[in-house]
A and B are shown apart, each in its own frame.
Chain A
């Protein structure tokens, strides 16, 4: 599926920010066999005095910019044309949950793709007994790790309300879990935390959803802003599987990947502190238009 996508994020500061340095993860990823970016453009206002492109530990594309003039507003815009090839139907080759540690132990590597990064605690996620217990209930009746992932995702989707007003960008996973509502980021953090609690490596994916659904299908939740979903390691053979708990579906051709990380903290689209600036407000707009 071929898409044209546009996004703009703007920040307003109550007083002028004197200078700033930002680390941006906004550009769609180039993923061999799954996602091809054929054209892209990025603009930052005010005009940066430094512009450095790079790659982070997980292989995500980064742009570091420095703004040195006082400014009351900053604006980040991207436009890109992306072709997305969906993974085929999955054959369940994942192991039983109790056999997953054996697969993990065989994996003696710290490469970015290694599952070890995606267990235990990360900047914004620590496994919690209540979430672990919730995941264990689902695990009881699941024959394989993949089945556990799918059933857990459906369970979360059924138990939680999508509510853009309920949480903010730094709401902890536990709060969202206790209140049983949130946005895609919360659904994703909760599911990651649950999976790690029962020993399944799980990470965070940031990206976009197509804005207009195919004919006859409902519009997906989370399409009007940046989206997030889960990536889980289902054993040596099955490898990484992506799942969108907000919409209770496996990720195929409606999702476009920007970045992979352990949680939101690793892949926040715009990072950077303001010197001498107080609270700021953000607006975001996203358009993902299928061309076929």
Chain B
């Protein structure tokens, strides 16, 4: 007992038993801790389990606060999942890392040469080094791009490799990711979360930061712009994509503009962004969209994600795609069979890091070899670009294997089954060995390829599996590269030099403006409905007569907003909140994470209420909870959001919606024939009870209510106040200003504001209010036409 207490490390590792036959990252063959892990694991062992658990929860809290998620596709749902962080980082020695880096840089160079030949002279095919059919039958060989030289002169700018350590201890390349490699942003998030868990250890461990890598890459892309352009774009398939979070994250992190195909158009061979300030040129796109989808005119016909004519901009040398369109062919699984030979041919030397042994069944002798040795292999689709362990393998039939393999022929590839090394993972508080693979990122800078000092490790779910895919329940871990003398104090921001230079804000894409506008509208509408419902349920609770005239009037008003007054939390309210949350999701790069999380929380709470809250008192209290959450959101947005054009569209949405709702409210509840109690109801819904009390010495009557809610410019709830706000925002939008001719939108606003300002409480009757509602609708239409279409 005494001995164990004296050696916490031994105790900590007592249950850690790596399987035989593969190396373990933590322990060497004799069971001793490898030098690179000694310090980390001793300090971990010295921590009490409770302390470790607390620290881990800090890391998880960070990920939740940052809103990190990915989507998992299933037959029934594509819901957001929390990011599955494995809390033990993978430690890699400098010797290993040097070898990995050198090997991967050589591989990136080799891939560049191959793809340049495949889209250029095609000597690899004509000299017989690469079978013509492997290229010709490949869906990733994009014929419209044959012969097109990239604007930057290079096809590859950002690549990733999946590697693993084999039984002999050396590293193998398992897959090449060239199309649109994902995960670099997640690597940053892993790093932040993990360094929070081990803040003290991390600070003293001398682990190089990731920011320098991103800064160099960003500077390289910025240097590729045409003069006068403000931004680099990130082209995303949109928020239903598995890694949309990452696209938005990278855009925010690097200060790039997140764009969807619909944001773009081609004019005279140039790619343009549709912005609220008209069409603006853009010449560098970092794409996270697979090439086949980018242009429905020349590539996949049915694509809704692309931009017709985009290939024209590429072909005319006006657009750099990172990476070039067509490089997806490098991910073809069967190509791996040829890489050892191609390295000899193109680089004059063998691959420095071997790739997993691969045999393409399109060749007679290879097919025969696979037939004889199938039990040592995983069989897969030869033209698949997915990683073997992600897309699953092809299962041969139980009988007639030889015939099957002959028939499948060129469609089939055999890859050696490799068992991967194990790395420590924390399972239920215990350290356990799990199979591991590593994703490493490389970026091309002006000085050549640079390797991200880190990346992420995939940790398998069970001890035996060599399946380490995240979608199948594996976890991911941060990677700590031990490097002597590296810079450990970097951040993404450029070092300050003398005076402060502000980056001019890029023009706001119309689609983003549209979503912000509707976000403003939906949140405001939600608030109106919540106030309406609260007033309704409070009266229901007080009243014995739910069929009374006032309650009937409220019920009719609610139905106008598609809310069933018999429900405590009507579906119409939940739909509105959901629409607000959805709009925020579309502008992930321009809207604060806290704001989006607040809406997620609001949606969750409202749905929770709808399952258990009763009408009357219970619902009144529930609405008060929702109202507080909405107020919290409004505070977040209007106190913290930068006053750029996007904020103006959000505010315009709010003001227009509020004007429309207040008009509707007055039409319903300030009509001379409205039942008793209606005027107080109107004041309550418009949150103006206290103000009314202070402003008017008399009790409520139609004139005071209409004056306060319609015409009082100092009441932030009044219609006139909204019109004044709208005018104020319009002055700051593009295309307006003193010396410009009046736009239809300015005219619509001026018409409505003048109409209202000339009224008195007695003339602002129901007819006039109804006309105002139409004028507000016209404003919204004109705004959409001018900026959002």
Contact = CB atoms under 8 A, between A and B. Distances in A.
B144 interface: yes
B126 A108 contact: yes
A21 B306 CA distance: 13
B143 interface: yes
Contact of A64 (B127, B132, B267, B309): B309
A109 B132 contact: yes
A114 B126 CA distance: 12
A247 to B, nearest CB: 28
A117 B135 CA distance: 9
B429 to A, nearest CB: 51
B137 A116 contact: yes
Contact of B266 (A21, A108, A110, A119): A21
Interface string A83-117: 00000000000000000000010011110001011
A265 B128 CA distance: 30
Contacts of B265: 19
Contacts of B135: 110, 116
A50 interface: yes
A123 B301 contact: yes
B312 A64 contact: yes
B128 A23 contact: no
A121 B132 contact: no
Contacts of B266: 21, 66
Contacts of A1: none
Interface string B288-328: 00000000111011000000110010000000000000000
A57 B133 contact: no
A47 interface: no
A52 interface: yes
B122 A110 contact: yes
Contacts of A58: 143
Contact of B144 (A57, A107, A272): A57
A168 interface: no
A110 B298 contact: no
Contacts of A22: 297
A56 interface: yes
B144 A121 contact: no
Contacts of A109: 122, 125-126, 132
Contact of B125 (A57, A66, A110): A110
B538 interface: no
B132 A114 contact: yes
A114 B128 CA distance: 15
Given A107-B132, A110-B125, A121 B297 contact: no
Contacts of B126: 108-109
A220 interface: no
B308 A272 contact: yes
Contacts of A23: 297-298
Interface residues of A, number: 28
Interface in B245-274: 265-269
A271 interface: yes
Contacts of A120: 133, 136-137, 410
A114 B141 CA distance: 15
B297 A272 contact: yes
A263 B679 CA distance: 70
Given A116-B132, A121-B139, A21 B301 contact: no
Nearest to A111: B122
Interface in A20-69: 21-23, 50, 52, 56-58, 64, 66
A109 B312 CA distance: 26
A242 B298 CA distance: 26
Given A21-B309, A50-B268, A56-B144, A114 B296 contact: no
Contacts of B300: 123
A273 interface: yes
> Main SS of chain A's interface residues?
loop
Contacts of B297: 21-23, 64, 271-273
Contacts of B132: 107-110, 114, 116
Nearest to B300: A123
Interface string B346-385: 0000000000000000000000000000000000000000
Residue among A64, A107, A265, A271 with most chain B CB within 10 A: A64
A114 B125 CA distance: 12
Interface residues of B, number: 28
B146 interface: yes
Nearest to A274: B308
B776 to A, nearest CB: 24
Contacts of A121: 137, 139
Nearest to B296: A273
Contacts of A116: 132-133, 135-137
Nearest to A262: B143
A168 to B, nearest CB: 15
A278 B98 CA distance: 57
Interface in B87-121: none
Contact of A66 (B139, B143, B309): B309
Contact of B137 (A21, A119, A268): A119
Residue among A21, A64, A116, A268 with most chain B CB within 10 A: A21
Interface in B120-178: 122, 125-128, 132-133, 135-137, 139, 143-144, 146
A112 to B, nearest CB: 9
Contacts of A21: 266, 297, 308-309
A116 B122 CA distance: 14
Nearest to B145: A57
A107 B265 CA distance: 41
A119 B135 CA distance: 12
A103 to B, nearest CB: 13
Contacts of B133: 104, 116, 119-120
Contacts of B144: 56-57
B298 A117 contact: no
A271 B125 contact: no
Contacts of B125: 108-110
Nearest to A22: B297
Contacts of A117: 136
A69 to B, nearest CB: 14
A35 B228 CA distance: 50
B136 A110 contact: yes
A273 B128 contact: no
A116 to B, nearest CB: 4
Contact of A57 (B127, B128, B146, B267): B146
Contacts of B312: 52, 64
A21 B269 CA distance: 12
Contact of B308 (A104, A114, A119, A273): A273
Contacts of A107: 132
A230 B298 CA distance: 22
Nearest to A116: B136
A19 B308 CA distance: 11
B735 to A, nearest CB: 19
A202 to B, nearest CB: 14
Interface in A101-144: 104, 107-110, 114, 116-117, 119-121, 123
Contacts of A56: 143-144
Nearest to B268: A50
Contacts of B139: 121
Residue among B125, B133, B266, B298 with most chain A CB within 10 A: B133
Given A117-B136, A265-B301, 14 more contacts: A21-B297, A23-B298, A56-B144, A57-B143, A57-B146, A66-B266, A108-B132, A109-B122, A109-B125, A109-B126, A110-B146, A116-B137, A120-B410, A273-B308
Interface of B: 122, 125-128, 132-133, 135-137, 139, 143-144, 146, 265-269, 296-298, 300-301, 308-309, 312, 410
Closest 9 interchain pairs by CB? A116-B136, A57-B143, A120-B137, A21-B308, A116-B132, A21-B309, A117-B136, A23-B297, A116-B133
17 contacts: A21-B266, A21-B297, A23-B298, A56-B144, A58-B143, A107-B132, A108-B127, A108-B132, A110-B132, A117-B136, A119-B137, A120-B410, A121-B137, A123-B300, A271-B297, A272-B296, A273-B308
